[in-house]
Amino acid sequence: MDWDDSPEQAAFRAEVRAVIEQYLPGRYREGNGPDERAWEFDRKSDDAGARDAAVAWQQALSARGWVAPEWPKEYGGAGLSPNEQFVLNQEFAAAGAPPVGGSGVRLLGPTLIVHGTDEQKAKYLPPILQGEVAWAQGYSEPGSGSDLASLQTAARRDGDEWVVNGQKIWTSGAHTADAIFALVRTDPQAPKHRGISFLLIDNIKTPGLSVRPLIDMGEHHYFNETFFEDVRVPAGNLVGDENRGWYVAMTLLDFERSNIVAAVGARRTINELIEDIGAEGVTATSPVRLAIADRYIETEVMFNFSFRIISMQNRGVIPNYEASTSKLFASELNQRLALTASRAFGLAGTRCDDGSAAGRYTNMYVRMVPATIRGGTSEVQRNVIATRGLGLPRG
């Protein structure tokens, strides 16, 4: 494995840095924007400056196809190779530059490119790229999280429409989204992994659809509950075959679990922690110093997990259990990293989000609680690794 940039990669890295230097709005340089889904939340912010920053950054990336760097050029993306995507994400993470497009770019777009009809691609892909429509993901339900296939939100065919009833939970960013894609049960008599369909609800304000906030322990509004009461959706909004939505969803989750950017995010956090400890004159105790060293090594391990994903994608292989391995390691690393960072500041680490370095890391720790739940729990990832990777029988 050659960890150094090739001449082509080095040239592309220089180009990315130049674009960031010239076009990244000061809001993101100064760390004033929200640290997750920054672009999505800013585009609907009450703050005109935040909205302007979101628009300006979207336009800068759109001019280069970098809104959707992995999409083929024929669909408006940049068609970047996995290595180029890695360079782009690495530089974005290092600069605090937010990606644009959210779940529409990262999840729904690639899935439509694989499973959508020509009409669906023509209708839904351009507004995602232009920053006109942001999508939320409607998967988890109050009784169907880790066992997603047991979902009960139902869609009944009524002429040229589907009528949807049920509830979703942990719907990230739904309060600022314009639309939502959802898994719904279309055949209640079929085995649980069958009888599920993938449905596009292209207006989140459709009559009967309501979004209610869930405030997390860090006092942030990130998640939501979403309710469907006789929500009518055109029949043409079905993606893939009826009752085969589970397989469409699994394609989407493979994109979600690749976690190429997780490694550079962890590396940035550990480097910032080391700088903050030095700047504030903190004398970390021996156990904490050893823990910081462990976290540093683990971020490098995560970096190599990312390289493995890239090498697979370069060969045209969609990561499966390998992506679950990366997701599992990254989410648990982020929790350990945040806990170690808060402990490094001793009693000052009991403060949360008070503007200090200690408070920032404590807030990070609080917000990392869902990391091993969202996107598939650690238990689910271990099951995938055991059965698909190691060939072990299902328990």
CA dist., res. 203 & res. 201, Å (int): 6
Q: Which residues of 193-208 are buried (b: 16+ CB within 10 A; e: fewer)?
A: ebbbbbbbbbebebee
Q: Which residues contact 118 (CB under 8 A, 6 or more apart)?
A: none
Cβ distance 226 to 210 under 8 Å?
yes
Residue 158 CA neighbour count, 13 Å, CB half: 10
CA dist., res. 31 & res. 75, Å (int): 32
Tell me the three state secondary structure of residue 136. Answer: strand
CA dist., res. 326 & res. 306, Å (int): 7
**Tokens describing residue 371:** 């990391």
CA dist., res. 135 & res. 325, Å (int): 27
Burial of 188: CB neighbours in 10 Å, binned 0-12, 13-18, 19+:
exposed
Q: How many other CB atoms are there within 10 angstroms of residue 376's CB atom? A: 23
The residue whose two tokens read 């777009």 is 109
> Of residues 141, 256, 298, 322, which has the active-site annotation?
256
The residue whose two tokens read 């949360």 is 352
Q: Which residues of 280-292 are buried (b: 16+ CB within 10 A; e: fewer)?
A: eebebeeebeebb
* CA 240 from centroid of its chain's CA atoms: 23
256 is catalytic: yes
DSSP 105: I
* CA 194 from centroid of its chain's CA atoms: 26
Q: Please give the positions annotated as active site.
A: 256
